[in-house]
């Protein structure tokens, strides 16, 4: 999963801003995906990514190169997201609303003989994605964290273990319990 050329991290540690810019460019999209899956809000995910890179820049001189850089980076990003979730849950408000999906706009003739999904299919997919995201958000943080890292970020069990500082057996247990909890939450979703 290393996305950087040789020596980029070392140059960034030495104060090379161009090297740090390479790090940002290489990881901003995957970290945004990670943050969005945790936080379910685009603006908050962007803020979390910025905070992650700020922490990376601040702590880069202390990064130990005997460990994988991506593991260190994802650990910081995961901790930022978990901190934001804790703050959010502590100050949760009843009037918060979810994100609206994209509206389908187009003329009827633009859709004739198209292999593109129909508006109804798009709506069903969007609703399903929203239900999965809602169920994922309702999971306890340890289960939510491992499921996002494993199935969305596609990290290995060893990488997750390194990021979370827990044994692989704990990661496997949390994945299993998280999947079971997701099944239970999704079974409660009313069928239209």
> pLDDT at residue 115 above 50?
yes
DSSP helix/strand/coil, 96 = coil
Which pLDDT belongs to residue 27? 94
pLDDT tens sequence across 116-161: 555 555 656 666 677 777 888 888 989 988 998 898 888 899 999 9
46 pLDDT exceeds 50? yes
Surface-to-core class of residue 61, CB atoms within 10 Å of its CB (0-12 exposed, 13-18 middle, 19+ buried): exposed
User: How much is the CA Rg of the chain, to the nearest whole Å?
Assistant: 19
Supply the angle between the helices 69-90 and 42-59 in degrees, to the nearest 10: 130
> Residue 100 has what pLDDT?
43
Q: Could you tell me how many residues make up the chain? A: 192
Q: What is the pLDDT of residue 56?
A: 94
Q: Check if the beta carbon of residue 28 is closer than 8 Å to that of residue 45.
A: no
134 and 166 Cβ atoms separated by less than 8 Å: no
Domains with residue ranges and CATH for the chain: 1-90 (1.10.1740.10), 116-192 (1.10.10.10)
The predicted pLDDT at position 5 comes to 77
Q: pLDDT-based confidence at 106, cuts 50/70/90?
A: very low
What are the tens digits of pLDDT across the range 64-98? 888 889 989 999 999 999 888 888 776 654 444 44
Residue 56 burial (10 A CB sphere; 0-12, 13-18, 19+): buried
Paired tokens of 153: 């970020």
**Secondary structure of residue 64 in the 3-state scheme:** coil
CA distance 140 to 19: 37
Of 18 and 114, the one with more pLDDT? 18
Q: Are 108 and 166 in contact (CB under 8 A)?
A: no
């Amino acid at each position: 999963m290393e996305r950087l050329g040789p020596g980029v991290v070392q140059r960034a540690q030495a104060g090379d801003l161009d090297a740090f810019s390479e790090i940002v460019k290489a990881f901003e999209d995957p970290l945004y995906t990670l943050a969005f899956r945790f936080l379910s809000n685009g603006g908050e995910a962007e803020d979390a990514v910025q905070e992650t890179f700020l922490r990376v820049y601040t702590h880069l001189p202390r990064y130990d190169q005997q460990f994988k850089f991506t593991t260190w980076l994802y650990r910081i990003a995961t901790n930022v997201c978990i901190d934001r979730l804790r703050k959010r849950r502590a100050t949760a408000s009843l009037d918060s609303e979810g994100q609206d999906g994209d509206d389908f706009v187009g003329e009827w003739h633009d859709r004739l003989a198209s292999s593109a999904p129909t508006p109804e299919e798009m709506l069903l997919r969007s609703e399903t994605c929203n239900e999965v995201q809602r169920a994922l958000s309702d999971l306890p943080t340890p289960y939510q964290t491992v499921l996002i890292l494993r199935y969305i970020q596609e990290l290995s069990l060893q990488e997750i273990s390194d990021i979370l500082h827990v044994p692989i057996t704990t990661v496997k247990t949390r994945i299993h319990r998280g999947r079971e909890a997701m099944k239970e939450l999704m079974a409660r979703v009313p069928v239209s």
